[in-house]
Structure formats: C-alpha cells, structure tokens
Amino acid sequence: MIEDRLICTKYADLHLHTDFSDGTFSPERVVIEANRLGFAAIAITDHDILDGIEPALSAGNQYGVEVVPGVELSAESDGEEIHILGFYMDWRDRQFQQKLQEFRESRRIRAMRIVDKLNQLGIDIEYDDVLKRADSISIGRPHVATALVEKGHVATASEAFYRFLGDSGPAYVAKQKLTPTEAIMMILDVGGIPVLAHPGMLQQNIVPELASSGLMGLEAFHPYHTIELSDYYCDLAEQYNLLVTGGSDCHGLAKGKMVMGSVRLPYEHVDAMKKARKAILRREREIGSTTNYTSCHELN
Ligand code: AMP
Ligand code: FE
Ligand code: FE
Ligand code: ZN
C-alpha cells in the first residue's frame, strides 16, 4: 500500500498558453503534445482570455487528457508585475467574460501605442502587422516581437524584448493591471482557485499578504525555479495552508523551444485542488450567494 502511494504514475502541467494569447499552439495541439508527453491532466491558462478552454476540453475528450479550465491575470504591486492564475472558475460567467474583454481591449490600444513608439524610434512597422488577429485573441508584447522578427528588424523575439519591448525598453508601454487582491477576488467571485504564478520571479515576498487576501495556492514548480526554490515554496505553501501547483508555462515555440514536459506535477496536487473546489461549491450551497470567498483558503 505504501509503495502504491510512493509511485506516482500520473502527472499534470497546470500552466499552458495557446494561440488565443501569446502561445503558438492551438488548444488542440497543446492537448496533442501533452498526450504525447504522457500527461494525465493539463490546465489552459491564457492571459486574459478563456476561448482556448472549450476547444481544449473537446480535444481532451478525444485524446484522453483531463483539461482544467484556467486563466492568468496580470496584477501589480510596488511597481512589480504579479501574475495570478485561476483554476476551475466558472469560465462561462458573463460578467467575468466581460471584464476580460475589457482587459483585451486595453491590450489592443496598448499594442497600438507600442507601435507608435516604435515608429518614433524609426522602426517601420504598422498596426496591421501586429493586430492581424487582435479581435479574437489576447494581444501582448510577444505579438509585437513576432511582427518585428517578420519585418526583419530583429533576429529573435528575445532581441525584440531586449532592445525595445522589455520593461525598461524604449518602446515599453505599461498595461492595465489589477492589484493582486483584485485579481484574487475576480477569481474567487466566479468560484475559482487563485494561485500565485512563478513566485520565484518576484523580488518581494508577497505570499503572507496574499494568503490573507484569499490566495489559495502557490505555483511551486516552474521552469524558472531551481529544485531548492521549489522546495522552499512547497514549505511556504504548507506554512500558509496553500495548495501546491506547477506547470511549464509553455508558450509553444514562442520562446524558441517547447518547454512542455520540463515540469511534471504529481497528480495528487490536482486531486487536492478538486477537493478544495468541492469545498467551495459545498460552502456556496450552504450559505447561498453571499459567500465571503476571502476565507475559502481555510477550507483546503
Ligand atoms: P504582456 O502581457 O503583453 O506584457 O507580455 C508579457 C509576455 O511576454 C509574458 O507572458 C511572456 O510570455 C513574454 N515575455 C516576457 N519577457 C520576454 C522575453 N524577454 N522574451 C520573450 N518573451 C517574453
Ligand atoms: Fe505569456
Ligand atoms: Fe506569467
Ligand atoms: Zn504564463
């Protein structure tokens, strides 16, 4: 019996982007690659868009891969960008969809401002080069980077970020961001599980503060994290009674090579999330629509 518990045969990747945001794979291709790599479960976590979920779910049915609905929201604290992942939220909720639509509209306007800045720097690039599919996707700096590569202004997307688009680059334009607490509340309000993405990328230790604002999990496993850092975040999660998640943050081939497969999260963490989700639903039923989600993480 003990041996059964020690040998993990099922793995998940809970951080994946599709071409509905800044990934290069369609949702179906993401599922196919995950299946090829032997993943039992994946989460689709596009930036500010949910349209990849439905096609991934049907591809998941076809290929026998469990698909967890997810999203990645951008927040800011002390001038630092903080990403909050949401899992198992009611992604069909109209108000939630509407809010994300507003974020995407502001991303589109921001992309135009980036193009203006590039033009002022003497770079020959037009809105249409960047905004081709902007109506149906969540546009971000990687799309501008791709256009710069296609037009021959830079050799790689990394060079585009390094020379122009990075946070201190000459064509940088900030995007509309929530506070981390607002992002957490947005996810909780639609019955989802808010998780701090790639905490190892942050300068500040914001975990204690966010744990008391309703955060329910930490992305302990991420390609950016060393083994030591992952261990540290697993311990921190235990300390604050938070769930542990992990994923490759794969953007298809957008960053040169495919990183899916580089992080394998034992499936027991997916089970733990599902248990937490059930507790939320139970609590919702018990106390009706006036749920105070801020204390939901205590239910883990
Ligand atoms: P945005 O949400 O438009 O600000 O774009 C941020 C996205 O750009 C991140 O989610 C990454 O996918 C990507 N990104 C950030 N830095 C780099 C970089 N140095 N090279 C390539 N892609 C990057
Ligand atoms: Fe991204
Ligand atoms: Fe992120
Ligand atoms: Zn991501």
Span 272-291, pLDDT tens digits: 999 999 988 888 888 775 54
Global confidence as pTM: 0.93
- The pocket around ligand 1, CB under 6 angstroms, is made up of 22, 47, 140-142, 157-158, 161, 175, 251, 255
Rounded to whole angstroms, the Cα distance separating 79 from 52 reads 30
The protein residue with its alpha carbon nearest to ligand 1, atom 14, reads 142
Give the number of C-alpha atoms closer than 13 A to the C-alpha of residue 13, restricted to the C-beta side. 25
**How many Å lie between the centroid of ligand 1 and the Cα of residue 216?**
25
Rounded to whole angstroms, the Cα distance separating 190 from 70 reads 12
**How many Å lie between the centroid of ligand 4 and the Cα of residue 197?**
8
The arithmetic mean of pLDDT across residues 286-299, rounded, is 50
Q: Counting beta carbons within 10 angstroms of the beta carbon of residue 71, is it exposed (0 to 12), middle (13 to 18) or buried (19 or more)?
A: buried
Determine the distance from the C-alpha atom of residue 150 to the mean position of all C-alpha atoms in its chain, rounded to a whole number: 26
Using one digit for the tens of pLDDT, what is the confidence trace for 193-212? 999 999 999 999 999 999 99
Average pLDDT, the chain: 92
The protein residue with its alpha carbon nearest to ligand 1, atom 1, reads 140
**How many Å lie between the centroid of ligand 1 and the Cα of residue 141?**
6
Atom of ligand 1 nearest to the CA of 158: 20
Atom of ligand 1 nearest to the CA of 162: 19
The arithmetic mean of pLDDT across residues 28-48, rounded, is 98
Using one digit for the tens of pLDDT, what is the confidence trace for 137-194? 999 999 999 999 999 999 999 999 999 999 999 999 999 889 999 999 999 999 999 9
Is pLDDT above 70 for 251? Answer: yes
Of 246, 236, 237, 285, the C-alpha closest to 266 is 246
**How many Å lie between the centroid of ligand 4 and the Cα of residue 30?**
14
Structure tokens at 254: 């957008």
The protein residue with its alpha carbon nearest to ligand 1, atom 13, reads 142
Amino acid at 45: T
Structure tokens at 161: 């970020």
Is 34 in a helix, a strand, or coil?
helix
Rounded to whole angstroms, the Cα distance separating 192 from 70 reads 9
Atom of ligand 1 nearest to the CA of 255: 21
What contacts 123, CB < 8 A, 6 or more positions away? 148, 153, 164, 171
100 within 8 A of 178, measured Cβ to Cβ: no
pLDDT of residue 282: 86
